[in-house]
Amino acid sequence: MTYDFFYKLFGSQVIAAIIQSLLPLFVFILPFALFAVWLERKVSAHMQDRLGPMRVGWHGWLQTVADILKLIQKEDIIATANDKPLFNLAPVLVFVGTYAAFAAIPFTSAFIGSNLDLGVFFIVAVSGFVVAGILMAGWASNNKYSLLGAMRSAAQIISYEIPTVMVIITIVMITGTLNLNTLSQLQTGHFWNWMIFGGPVFGVSKFLMIPFMIISFGIIYISTLAEVNRTPFDIPEAESELVSGYHTEYSGMKFAMFFLAEYANMFAVSAIVTALFFGGYQSPIGYIGHLLGLPWLVPIEQLFWFTAKGLFFVFVQMWLRWTLPRLRVDQLMTACWKYLIPIAFADLIIIGLITLI
Amino acid sequence: MREYFKNIWAAVFTVLVGMKVTFKHLFVPAVTIQYPDVKPKLPERERNRLYVNMDDCIGCDQCARACPLGIINIETVKALPTEDLKTSQGRKKALWVTNFTIDFAKCCYCQLCVFPCPTECIYMTDVYEFSEYERENLIYNFSTLTPEEIEQKKTNLSLFEAEKAKEKAAKSAAAPAPAKPVPPAAPTETKKEN
Amino acid sequence: MSIEVEEKISKLTEVQKRGNGLRTEHMVLNMGPQHPSTHGVLRLELELEGEIIKKVIPHIGYLHRCFEKHAEAMTYPQVVPYTDRMDYLGAMYNEFGYAVAVEKLLGIQVPERVDYIRVIMGELQRIASHLVALGTYGLDIGAFTPFLYCFRDREKILNLFEITCGARLLYNYIWVGGLSHDIHPDFVRLTKEFVTYFKPNIKELNDLLTNNKIFIDRTANVGVLPKETAINYGISGPNLRASGFKWDIRKDDTYSVYNKFDFDIPVGQGLMGTVGDCWDRYYLRVQEMEQSLRIIEQAIDQIPEGDVSSAIPKRIKPPVGQVYSRVENPRGELGYFIISNGGTSPFRVKVKGPSFVNLGIMDELSRGHMVADIIAILGSIDIVLGEVDR
C-alpha cells in the first residue's frame, strides 16, 4: 500500500498521512475536474453540431486551465449585505464534502485513501456535508434566487439520499460488507461476476437477479444524478429560473471551487456506482499483468479500468444533461417519493427473497 | 396502477429516444466555423459598410435626404466653368464635394441611400470588420480634397463671383438700363441636412 | 431603510390581526430586466408565497425607442427600417404589414410577382420566428440542445434572406409598392432545398423535445388559457388558436395572395393535457411551421414573371385619410393605423402589436403556479420585447 511506502520513505506517520490524503487531490481530482469540464464542453458542442473550445491547445484541451487561471486573477467580490463568515466558508465546505468522499473510494487494489470498513456509509454520510455548504451559500448570499436554489437543493439531496441508500442496502444485503475495497475484490474475475450480472455466485438466483439488479442500478444512477444536481435534476441552479441558484453571488476562485466540486462530485458518484455494480477497479477481461507475470502492472491496469468505467458514467451524465429538459420542484419530489423509493423498496424485498433461494 | 407504469415507460422510452438523437449528432460534422481563421463566403448583395466613389459623386445630396437617420453630411462648393470636372461615365460635375461624411456609429444598413444615387457612386460593400476604440473614428470622410484644396476652391469661387459681380456691375453701369441690385457675393454654398 | 422596515412590520401586524396568528409575509421577487429567461428586458414583479405565485406585475418600457413618434418625422419609405426593429424576429412580416397598410392608403395594386415573393418571405420568416420561439422555449424548460438545432435551421432561412436582400435580421426588403430587390436567381432552388432539408428536422425536434416525458410534464396543464379569457384579453395568433379558437387573419381577413393557397389553420386540441395549455401553444407553433412549408411549396413553383419595382411610387404622398390594416404576424395580429395629412410623412402611425397584447395575460395565467412555471408560461406566450416596448 502507498501509505506504507511513504511511511518507509519519510519515517513519519504524519507526513505519510498528509501525502496519502493529498495524493488523490493533486493526482486525480484536480486534473480530472479540469478534464471533465473540457469534456463536457466538447461533448455538448459536438452534440449540438458545434466545435466547442478550439483555441487553447489541441482542440482547446488547455481551455479549462486558462479559465482557472482567469478565475484566480478575478476580484473576489463580497457584497456588503453578505454574511461574510458563512459566505467564505460555504465553498470550502462544499469542496471538502466532495473531497472527503474520495477518501474511501478504491482507485486500485494498491491505493485506497482510507480502507474503511464502513466505506459506503462514510461516503453517504460525508456527502451530507455538501448540503450544509449549499444552504450556507444560499443563506449568506442574501439573494432571493440563491436562497430559493439552496432550499431546493437541500430538499432534493436529502430526498434522493433515501433511494440511494436503499439500493446500497440491497448490495450490502447480498455481499455482507460495507467496505468498497472488499466489494470490488468480490467482483473479481470477469464481467459476469459484476453485481449488475448478479454477483460472483452461480446458480438460478444469479439469473433471477439480473433484471432486478438492472432496476437497482437505474435507481441509484438516477438518484445520484439528482444528488450532484445535474440535469434533469439541476433545479437548484436552474439557469433559466434562478439565474444560477446558490452560486449566483460568487465570483473568482470561490466560484471555481463550486465548479470543481461539482465535477469532482460527478466522478465520486460514478465511482460509487462503478464499485457497487460494475466491479470497481476490476478488469472485465482479465489482467495483462498476470498474463505477462508482471505483478506491478496490475494496479496500473486497475486504475485504468476504474477511471474508464467512472468516465463512462460521467459521459452518460453529460449526455443526459445535453438531452433532457429539467423537472419542476414538485415533480422532482414526485419522482423521488412516488416512483424511486417504492420501486427501490420493492426491489430490495424481491432481491432479498431471491438471495434466500 | 396502469397509469403509474405507463408513466415510467413513457419517461424511460422518451429519454432513450432523445438520447438516440443527441448521440447521432455526436458524429455529425459541426456547422459552425472558426470565425477569424475561416471566414464565411458572403453573397454578392451583402449589405455592410458603405463606400462612396468620390470620382463619381456629383454632390446631389439625394442620399443624405433618403437616409432615415440623417448621418450623411455633404458640403459642396460650386465649380468654376473653367474647371473640367467629369464622372467616370463622362457626366459633367458642377460641384466640388468638399465634405462627405458618414457616421457609421449610427448607420442602420438599410440601404435607402444607395437606390436614389443617380451615378451609383454610393454602395454597400462586404466589409464588416471595422470596429474602433473611439466613436469619432467611425465618422468616415470620403472627400478626396485636402483642407488646402478646399480653401483654394472656396477662394477661387469667391474671386470668380466677385469678378462676375464686378463685370455685371460694369455692364449695368455701361448700359444704363434699370439697374438690378447687385447680390452680395456668396463665398460658399453649403448644404446641410440633418 | 428603517422607514421601509417599519412599514413592513406594520403590515405584518395587520396580517396577524386578521387572525391566522402566524407571522407570514409574501416574498417579492424581481425577475429581470437582467434575467436569462425573460426574453429580453422584461421585468416581472412576482409576489410569492414560498414558490407559489400570488401575483405577477409585468413592467415594460426598458426597450422603448419611440417608434411611433419617429415615424411622424420620417417619410413613408424611411419608416420601413424602423418597423424592422419592432419585432426583430419577424422583421419581414412587420414590413409586410406596413407595406400593405400604406398601399391601402395609396390605393395602389402591386404586381402579382411581388405578392408571391412577399408571401414566401413572410412564411419563411414565420418559420424562422417560430424556430426561435421553440428553441428558446426548450432553453427555458432546461433543454439546451434543441435550441441549437433550431438556430442551425434558422440560419439557413437567414441565408436565404441574405442572398436576396443582403441583410440577415433587419431587411428593409418589402417596400411600399414593391420590393427592394428581385429574388436572387438561386433563390427558388435554394428554397426548395431548404424545404426538403427542414422537414425531417421537425420530426427530430419532436423526438428530442416535443414528446419528451419531462417536457410534457413541465408544460401540459400548465398556464391553461380558456377560449373566452383569450378573447376577452384580445389575445391573437398562435396563443389564441391554441385555446381552440380558429382565427387566422390570413384566412379570415385575407390580404395579399393568401387566398390562392391551400393550408390549414391548426388549433389546440389538448393532446397532452387541457386545451390551451403551454404544451398546446408550443405544439401549435410546430404545426404552423408545417403549414408554412406547405404554403412555400405551393408558392415557390408559381411565382409569376414581372417587375418587382414597377409599382413603387416615385414620391409617396397619400391623400388625406386614415387606414387600419392588419396582418397575421408570427405572433398574432399586427395592425397599423396610419393617418395621413397629405404630406410625405405620416401624421400618425399607431401599431397594434401582438406581443404587447399577449403579455397582458401573464398575471391571469400565472397565479397559483410555481416560479418554474412562470418561465414556461412566459416562453409559451412568445413575446419579443422589441415589439412590446417599441
Whether residue A258 is found in the same domain as residue A213 = yes
In this structure, whether the domain defined by B50-148 belongs to CATH 3.30.70.3270 is answered with yes
Query: Is there a domain that residue A152 lies in?
Result: yes
Q: Could you give the C-alpha distances from A167 to A220, A277, B53, B123, in angstroms and in order? A: 6, 10, 77, 71
Given strand C52-59, what is the order of strands in its sheet?
C27-31, C43-49, C52-59
Helix, strand, coil in percent for chain A, rounding step 5 = 75, 0, 25
* pLDDT (0 to 100) of residue C34: 80
Whether residue A101 is found in the same domain as residue A210 = yes
Instruction: Report the gap between the CA of B85 and the closest CA in chain C (Å).
Output: 29
Q: Is B21 on the interface with A (CB under 8 A)?
A: yes
Indicate the burial class of C31 (C-beta count within 10 angstroms; 0-12, 13-18, 19 or more): buried
**B90, B91, B93: which is closest to B81 by C-alpha?**
B93
Number of alpha carbons in the 13 Å side-chain half-sphere of residue A327: 21
d(CA C388, CA C58): 11
For residue A349, which amino acid is it? I
Provide the strand spans (E) within B126-181: 139-141
Query: Is there a domain that residue A293 lies in?
Result: yes
- Give A225's contacts in chain C (Cβ within 8 Å): none
Instruction: Report the gap between the CA of A217 and the closest CA in chain B (Å).
Output: 14
* pLDDT (0 to 100) of residue C16: 53
The domain ranges of chain B are: 50-148
Q: Quick one: closest CA in A to B26, which residue?
A: A47
Whether residue A46 is found in the same domain as residue A122 = no
Neighbours of A21 (CB within 10 A): 16
* Of A43, A47, A324, Cβ closest to residue B15: A324
Do the Cβ atoms of C144 and A148 come within 8 Å?
no
Do the Cβ atoms of A231 and C142 come within 8 Å?
yes
- Give B23's contacts in chain A (Cβ within 8 Å): 47, 319
Do the Cβ atoms of B34 and A51 come within 8 Å?
yes
**How big is chain A, counted in residues?**
357
- Give B7's contacts in chain A (Cβ within 8 Å): 339
With a pLDDT cut of 90, the percent of chain A lying above it is 0
Q: Suggest the residue from B22, B31, B33, B37 to mutate for an interface test with chain A (most A CBs closer than 10 A).
A: B22
Query: Is there a domain that residue A9 lies in?
Result: no
Whether residue A66 is found in the same domain as residue A115 = no
Do the Cβ atoms of C152 and B21 come within 8 Å?
no
Do the Cβ atoms of B18 and C152 come within 8 Å?
no
Neighbours of C200 (CB within 10 A): 9
ipTM of this complex prediction, to 2 decimal places: 0.82
Q: Suggest the residue from A44, A48, A338 to mutate for an interface test with chain B (most B CBs closer than 10 A).
A: A48
Q: Is B45 on the interface with C (CB under 8 A)?
A: yes
**Do the beta carbons of residue A35 and residue A270 sit within 8 Å?**
no
d(CA C91, CA C94): 5
Whether residue A94 is found in the same domain as residue A140 = yes
* Of B8, B21, B26, Cβ closest to residue A339: B8
Instruction: Report the gap between the CA of A197 and the closest CA in chain C (Å).
Output: 29
- Residues in chain A whose Cβ is within 8 Å of chain C: 44, 47-50, 144-145, 148, 231-232, 234-235, 238-243, 321-331
pLDDT at B192 over 50: no
* pLDDT (0 to 100) of residue C22: 65
Whether residue A121 is found in the same domain as residue A44 = no
- Give C212's contacts in chain A (Cβ within 8 Å): 324-325
Do the Cβ atoms of B32 and A43 come within 8 Å?
no
**B87, B59, B86, B85: which is closest to B74 by C-alpha?**
B59
- Give C152's contacts in chain B (Cβ within 8 Å): 31
Each residue of C104-163: pLDDT tens digit?
A: 888 888 888 888 888 898 899 999 999 998 988 888 888 888 888 899 899 989 988 888
Instruction: Report the gap between the CA of B11 and the closest CA in chain A (Å).
Output: 11
When pLDDT is averaged across residues A194-217 and rounded to a whole number, the result is 78
pLDDT at C42 over 80: yes
Q: Quick one: closest CA in B to A47, which residue?
A: B26
pTM over 0.90: no
Residue with cell 462612396: B52
* pLDDT (0 to 100) of residue B191: 42
Pairs of CB atoms within 8 A across A/B? 39
Q: Quick one: closest CA in B to C173, which residue?
A: B110
Of A73, A106, A135, the domain-final residue: A73
- Residue with the bigger pLDDT between A327 and A188: it is A327
- The residues near C237 (Cβ < 8 Å, ≥ 6 apart) are C328, C329, C330, C331, C332, C333, C354, C358
d(CA C307, CA C8): 69
- Residue with the bigger pLDDT between C280 and B95: it is C280
CA A230 to chain centre: 11
**B135, B154, B155, B141: which is closest to B74 by C-alpha?**
B141
Q: Is B118 on the interface with A (CB under 8 A)?
A: no
When pLDDT is averaged across residues B29-41 and rounded to a whole number, the result is 85
* pLDDT (0 to 100) of residue C236: 87
Q: Suggest the residue from B7, B13, B27, B32 to mutate for an interface test with chain A (most A CBs closer than 10 A).
A: B32
Query: Is there a domain that residue A318 lies in?
Result: yes
Q: H or E segment at C44?
A: strand C43-49
Q: Is B112 on the interface with C (CB under 8 A)?
A: yes
Whether residue A160 is found in the same domain as residue A245 = yes
**How big is chain C, counted in residues?**
390
Do the Cβ atoms of B47 and C211 come within 8 Å?
no
Reported confidence tier of residue C308, pLDDT bands at 50, 70, 90: confident
* Residue C52 main-chain phi, psi, to 5 deg: -90, 135
**Which of A169-183, A308-322, C220-234 is predicted least confidently?**
A169-183
Do the Cβ atoms of A144 and C27 come within 8 Å?
yes
d(CA A137, CA C218): 28
Whether residue A96 is found in the same domain as residue A65 = no
* pLDDT (0 to 100) of residue C9: 58
Do the Cβ atoms of A322 and B22 come within 8 Å?
yes
C-alpha cell at C83: 418597423
Whether residue A29 is found in the same domain as residue A155 = no
* pLDDT (0 to 100) of residue C18: 57
b/e sequence A233-268, b meaning 16+ C-beta within 10 Å? bbbbbbbbbbbbbbbbbbeeebbbbbbbbbbbbbbb
Whether residue A311 is found in the same domain as residue A171 = yes
d(CA C241, CA C266): 7
Domain region containing A268: 84-356
Do the Cβ atoms of A328 and C370 come within 8 Å?
yes
- Residue with the bigger pLDDT between A225 and A191: it is A225
Given strand B139-141, what is the order of strands in its sheet?
B72-78, B95-103, B139-141
d(CA C377, CA C364): 11
Instruction: Report the gap between the CA of B130 and the closest CA in chain C (Å).
Output: 17
Instruction: Report the gap between the CA of B90 and the closest CA in chain C (Å).
Output: 26
C-alpha cell at B52: 462612396
Average pLDDT, chain B: 80
DSSP string, A56-95: SSGGGTTHHHHHHHHHHHS-----TTS-HHHHHHHHHHHH
* pLDDT (0 to 100) of residue A259: 82
When pLDDT is averaged across residues A151-160 and rounded to a whole number, the result is 84
* pLDDT (0 to 100) of residue B188: 45
C-alpha cell at C23: 407571522
Q: Is B114 on the interface with C (CB under 8 A)?
A: no
**C262, C384, C272: which is closest to C334 by C-alpha?**
C384
- Residue with the bigger pLDDT between C4 and A123: it is A123
Termini Cα distance of chain B = 75
**A140, A29, A53: which is closest to A91 by C-alpha?**
A140
pLDDT at B189 over 70: no
Of A54, A73, A92, the domain-final residue: A73
Q: Is A215 on the interface with B (CB under 8 A)?
A: no
CA A316 to chain centre: 13
With a pLDDT cut of 70, the percent of chain B lying above it is 89
**C330, C366, C389, C273: which is closest to C134 by C-alpha?**
C330
Q: Is B169 on the interface with C (CB under 8 A)?
A: no
Q: Is A46 on the interface with B (CB under 8 A)?
A: yes
Number of domains in chain A: 2
Query: Can you list the pairs that B75-78 forms with residues at least 24 positions away whose Cβ atoms lie under 8 Å?
Result: B75/B99, B75/B100, B75/B190, B75/B191, B75/B192, B76/B189, B76/B190, B76/B191, B77/B150, B77/B153, B77/B154, B77/B157, B77/B188, B77/B189, B78/B157, B78/B189
Instruction: Report the gap between the CA of C98 and the closest CA in chain B (Å).
Output: 16
d(CA A92, CA A355): 43
CA C389 to chain centre: 13
Query: Is there a domain that residue A339 lies in?
Result: yes
Whether residue A265 is found in the same domain as residue A331 = yes
Q: Quick one: closest CA in A to B8, which residue?
A: A339
Q: Quick one: closest CA in A to C147, which residue?
A: A48
Q: Among residues 17-36 of chain B, which lie with CB inside 8 Å of chain C? A: 17-18, 20-22, 25, 31
Q: H or E segment at C326?
A: strand C321-329
Each residue of A265-302: pLDDT tens digit?
A: 888 888 888 888 887 787 777 777 777 777 777 778 88
* pLDDT (0 to 100) of residue C6: 62
Q: H or E segment at C58?
A: strand C52-59
d(CA C287, CA C274): 18
* Residue C254 main-chain phi, psi, to 5 deg: -65, 150
Each residue of C229-270: pLDDT tens digit?
A: 888 988 888 888 888 888 888 888 888 888 888 888 888 888
Reported confidence tier of residue B187, pLDDT bands at 50, 70, 90: very low
**Which of A240-244, B76-80, B178-182, C34-38 is predicted least confidently?**
B178-182
Whether residue A32 is found in the same domain as residue A104 = no
C-alpha cell at C38: 425573460
**Do the beta carbons of residue C366 and residue C373 sit within 8 Å?**
yes
Q: Is B174 on the interface with C (CB under 8 A)?
A: no
Each residue of A224-262: pLDDT tens digit?
A: 888 888 778 877 776 667 777 788 888 888 888 888 888
Q: Suggest the residue from B31, B33, B62, B72 to mutate for an interface test with chain C (most C CBs closer than 10 A).
A: B31
* pLDDT (0 to 100) of residue C1: 46
Q: Is B9 on the interface with A (CB under 8 A)?
A: no
Do the Cβ atoms of B111 and C172 come within 8 Å?
yes
Name the 3-class secondary structure at A151.
Answer: helix
Q: Among residues 205-244 of chain C, which lie with CB inside 8 Å of chain A? A: 208-209, 212, 214-215, 217-218
Helical packing angle, A144-175 and A204-227, nearest 10°:
160
pLDDT at C193 over 80: yes
Do the Cβ atoms of B25 and A49 come within 8 Å?
yes
Reported confidence tier of residue A204, pLDDT bands at 50, 70, 90: confident
* pLDDT (0 to 100) of residue B190: 44
Instruction: Report the gap between the CA of B156 and the closest CA in chain C (Å).
Output: 38
- Give C162's contacts in chain B (Cβ within 8 Å): 42-43, 45-46
* Residue B102 main-chain phi, psi, to 5 deg: -125, 130
d(CA B63, CA B70): 9
Do the Cβ atoms of B115 and C180 come within 8 Å?
yes
**Do the beta carbons of residue C82 and residue C68 sit within 8 Å?**
no
Vertex B91: Cα angle to B86 and B97 (nearest 5): 50
Number of alpha carbons in the 13 Å side-chain half-sphere of residue A107: 23
d(CA A64, CA A345): 42
d(CA A200, CA A184): 11
Q: Would you give the DSSP letter of residue A104?
A: G
DSSP string, C85-105: TTSTTSHHHHHHHHHHHHHHH
When pLDDT is averaged across residues A133-137 and rounded to a whole number, the result is 86
